[in-house]
Chains A and B, each alone.
Chain A
Amino acid sequence: MQTDSNNKLIANYLFIGGLIVFVMMLFGVMMLLTQGGVIQLGPATFYQFLTIHGTGMIGACALAASGVMWYFLNKHVVLSKKIFITNLICFLIGVVMVIVGVFSFDYASAWTFLYPLPTLSAKAWGTIGALLYLFGMLIIGIGFLLLFLDIGRAIIKKQGSLAKGLGWDIISGKKSEKDAPHVAIVAATMVTIVDVVALLVGATVLMMNIIHTINPAYTFDPLLAKNFTYAFGHVFANSIIYMSVIVVYELLSKYTNRQWKANKVFLIAWTMSTFFTLIIYTHHLLMDSVMPRWMLITGQVLSYANGLPVLVITAYGALMIVYKSGIKWDIASGLTFIAMFGWTIGVVPAIVDATIVVNHVMHNTKWVPGHFHMYMGLGAVVMLFAFMYYLTKVDKQIPITKLDWAALYCYLISMFLVSMQFLVSGAISTPRRWATHIPEWMGPALFGGIAGIFVMIATSIFIYHFMNYFFYKNSTKDS
């Protein structure tokens, strides 16, 4: 009974997350069609769409991914359902505030709300819009902070400390590998560490922006503000994939009937990614020549290394666990595998762009959205869809139709094209975040807009399938 109601709550997380992702895709498509010269939104509306698309996508994916993490983690540690519900409520309140801020009060600073833009908008929007947005983000952040504190508390209770959650006692040889924490615990520990840091820094920088908006006479060091903003935004967005990846471990274990055990290499990889994730946001500041040189060089080097440890052991592990396992492929396992592929190729353009000499040319071109659409759209989001199919299968045995399979291929191809379109635009030096494109830049955008429509069709089929979770009567359970 308890599990049933927990799973329903988790399904709500996924459904709300999925629905928001779908709506945000619509804004994405409209932006591309505007840039492609097919529809005329007007710059002000474009920037509102850009703001809501970025905020909505990151927020919704983080929400859904935290639902995935909670589902698997709750099998190993005791989590608080009250806190889980509180997070959802905070999220919904925050979302409403953000939407009202953006659409009723014209707020359009992009989701990065880089100081002093929320305040100094050249009268494009006013104080109320900025405050609604910033307070909305703060409330969403508070919900997530509560959630991660609870997860941290639960892990400390079970393992003794977060250090042990990452398996440092096994790495140092004090304990043997067979006592290693469960893979879900290791991943959740990593995410808890980086996200608590990100959210604390984020709360500070949001409050700073709020003070500045209320009284612009209080000014702050913009470089420090930029550092803090990216230390929050980059880390939080990055953590989505580390929450979602738990589904790869758990689902493949279940499907192949083989356990995904954490060994020393696995634990070292997760520890490395914990540290790198916290440090590498500096690759957003490679163009800021006033930044200390050593920080930028560290940013470059560690950005190369950031995701790699976890990515490599996960991709390798996924291949190994599947190899000769006689696994029965279905949509959930298929999507999981595709997500690993998407994550892997999505990292490549990022690594290219994290190189300082390349960054001087490519930064602020559409190359950057190219990278994160690929690794989010083909990696993290696909893991979330995989989980949706997994849940409908294990909980309700909802049958899979040909339409679902068609959606899978449609999604895969069209999302790949959307990402490629961004990369091509970047390669021909199209700036990112420009409402208007000169004719030479329009081609890829238009192409992407059309591909985006197919992404939306596929996504709506995934979500439709998942919606059955709430209505489908499980015949085996009934009997």
Chain B
Amino acid sequence: MRLSLLLYFLLILPISREVLESYMVTHMFVQLPLLYAVGMLFPNRKEYKTRHIWSNIIFVLGLLSFWMVPRTLDDALVNTYTEILKFISLPLIGYLWKVSWRHLSEMTLAFIYTQLVSMCGLFAWLYLDTPIQICNNYLINEQKIVGAIYLVITIFMCGYLLKIAFIGNKKT
């Protein structure tokens, strides 16, 4: 609990926001994951019933797709409400995911994971390849770095998929 609140406090400080949000890479790959981590570190007091799980998951996936659209992050830089929404919704995603994911079947997890692989691949391609500036607030060269990071993430995710499929689960 304390760790989570401390992290949240640190992230919300104007100085850290200023630093993390001034680069696309740190905004996307440091600030957002840390906000998510805030939610993950938040203690889980309540035992969720399985029937709540699906509403959580749909909510999480909906929010996640909202933040996947480049325009929304761009907006967070100029619009205070979107920024506030970001600081509320991302920890919420983290928390809801934490309390729900264990209840999901292997199949659902595998499906979400493979969809993420496709999506990360798509983002790598989009950010690396497209000749136009996607965000108003970040330059094209930053966009390329983000693309390269997505590519690395995609490769690692594929590697993990291969490991599960080919080396398999020790238990079975």
Residues of chain A having any CB pair with chain B under 8 Å? 80, 83, 145-146, 149-150, 152-153, 156-157, 160-164, 193, 196, 200-201, 203-204, 207-208, 211, 217-221, 224
Report B127-170 residues with CB < 8 Å from chain A CB. 129-132, 134, 164-169
CB distance from B143 to the nearest CB of A (A): 12
CB distance from A148 to the nearest CB of B (A): 10
A–B complex contacts, Cβ < 8 Å, 27 sampled: A83-B107, A149-B110, A149-B114, A153-B107, A156-B169, A161-B165, A161-B167, A161-B169, A162-B168, A163-B166, A163-B167, A163-B168, A164-B168, A193-B165, A200-B118, A200-B121, A201-B121, A203-B118, A203-B122, A204-B121, A204-B122, A207-B118, A208-B122, A219-B131, A220-B125, A220-B130, A224-B125
Q: Which residues of the other chain, B, contact A193 by a CB distance below 8 angstroms? A: 165
Q: Which residues of the other chain, A, contact B130 by a CB distance below 8 angstroms? A: 218-220
Q: Which residues of the other chain, B, contact A211 by a CB distance below 8 angstroms? A: 126
Q: A149-B114, A208-B126 are in contact. Are A80 and B165 (CB under 8 A)?
A: no
CB distance from B155 to the nearest CB of A (A): 13
**What does DSSP make chain B's interface, helix, strand, loop or mixed?**
helix
Q: Which residues of the other chain, B, contact A145 by a CB distance below 8 angstroms? A: 111, 114
* Interface size bracket, B side: 20 to 34
| B172 proximal to A (CB < 8 A) | yes
- Which of B126, B164, B168 has the most chain A CB within a 10 Å cutoff? B168
Q: Which residue of B lies closest to A148 (CB)?
A: B114
| B24 proximal to A (CB < 8 A) | no
Contact present for B107 and A150 (CB under 8 Å):
yes
A219–B132 CA distance with the chains assembled, in angstroms:
8
Contact present for A203 and B115 (CB under 8 Å):
yes
Q: Which residue of B lies closest to A166 (CB)?
A: B166
Report B104-120 residues with CB < 8 Å from chain A CB. 106-107, 110-111, 114-115, 117-119
Contact present for A217 and B125 (CB under 8 Å):
no
CB distance from A189 to the nearest CB of B (A): 10
Contact present for B114 and A200 (CB under 8 Å):
yes
B111 interface neighbour in A149, A161, A217, Cβ under 8 Å? A149
Contact present for B118 and A218 (CB under 8 Å):
no
Q: Which residues of the other chain, A, contact B164 by a CB distance below 8 angstroms? A: 156
Q: Which residues of the other chain, B, contact A146 by a CB distance below 8 angstroms? A: 107, 111
Contact present for B111 and A200 (CB under 8 Å):
no
Contact present for B129 and A220 (CB under 8 Å):
yes
Q: Which residue of A lies closest to B165 (CB)?
A: A162
Q: Which residues of the other chain, A, contact B110 by a CB distance below 8 angstroms? A: 149, 152-153
A80 interface neighbour in B107, B114, B119, B121, Cβ under 8 Å? B107
CB distance from B119 to the nearest CB of A (A): 8
16 extra A-B contacts, CB within 8 A, seeds A145-B114, A156-B172, A200-B114 = A80-B107, A156-B164, A157-B172, A160-B172, A161-B166, A163-B166, A196-B114, A201-B118, A204-B125, A208-B125, A211-B126, A218-B130, A219-B129, A219-B130, A220-B126, A224-B129
A285–B164 CA distance with the chains assembled, in angstroms:
32
Q: Which residues of the other chain, B, contact A161 by a CB distance below 8 angstroms? A: 165-169
Contact present for B166 and A162 (CB under 8 Å):
yes
A201–B117 CA distance with the chains assembled, in angstroms:
9
Contact present for A156 and B118 (CB under 8 Å):
no
CB distance from B164 to the nearest CB of A (A): 8
Report B74-127 residues with CB < 8 Å from chain A CB. 106-107, 110-111, 114-115, 117-119, 121-122, 125-126
Q: Which residue of B lies closest to A156 (CB)?
A: B168
A157–B106 CA distance with the chains assembled, in angstroms:
11
A260–B108 CA distance with the chains assembled, in angstroms:
35
Q: Which residues of the other chain, B, contact A200 by a CB distance below 8 angstroms? A: 114, 117-118, 121
Q: Which residues of the other chain, B, contact A219 by a CB distance below 8 angstroms? A: 129-132
A217–B121 CA distance with the chains assembled, in angstroms:
20
Q: Which residue of B lies closest to A164 (CB)?
A: B168
Contact present for A156 and B165 (CB under 8 Å):
yes
A152–B168 CA distance with the chains assembled, in angstroms:
11
A217–B130 CA distance with the chains assembled, in angstroms:
9
Contact present for B107 and A149 (CB under 8 Å):
yes
CB distance from A154 to the nearest CB of B (A): 10
Q: Which residues of the other chain, B, contact A164 by a CB distance below 8 angstroms? A: 168
A220–B123 CA distance with the chains assembled, in angstroms:
12
Q: Which residues of the other chain, B, contact A196 by a CB distance below 8 angstroms? A: 114
A207 interface neighbour in B106, B122, B129, B131, Cβ under 8 Å? B122
Q: Which residue of B lies closest to A215 (CB)?
A: B132
Report B5-37 residues with CB < 8 Å from chain A CB. none
A267–B166 CA distance with the chains assembled, in angstroms:
16
Contact present for A218 and B166 (CB under 8 Å):
no
A334–B104 CA distance with the chains assembled, in angstroms:
46
CB distance from B158 to the nearest CB of A (A): 8
CB distance from A134 to the nearest CB of B (A): 13
Bitwise, B28-70 to A at CB < 8 A (1) or not (0) is: 0000000000000000000000000000000000000000000
CB distance from A305 to the nearest CB of B (A): 22
Q: Which residues of the other chain, B, contact A80 by a CB distance below 8 angstroms? A: 107
B168 interface neighbour in A150, A160, A217, A221, Cβ under 8 Å? A160
A162–B163 CA distance with the chains assembled, in angstroms:
10
Q: A145-B111, A149-B107 are in contact. Are A160 and B169 (CB under 8 A)?
A: yes
Q: Which residues of the other chain, A, contact B126 by a CB distance below 8 angstroms? A: 208, 211, 218, 220
A152–B107 CA distance with the chains assembled, in angstroms:
10
A290–B114 CA distance with the chains assembled, in angstroms:
31
CB distance from B30 to the nearest CB of A (A): 25
A219–B134 CA distance with the chains assembled, in angstroms:
12
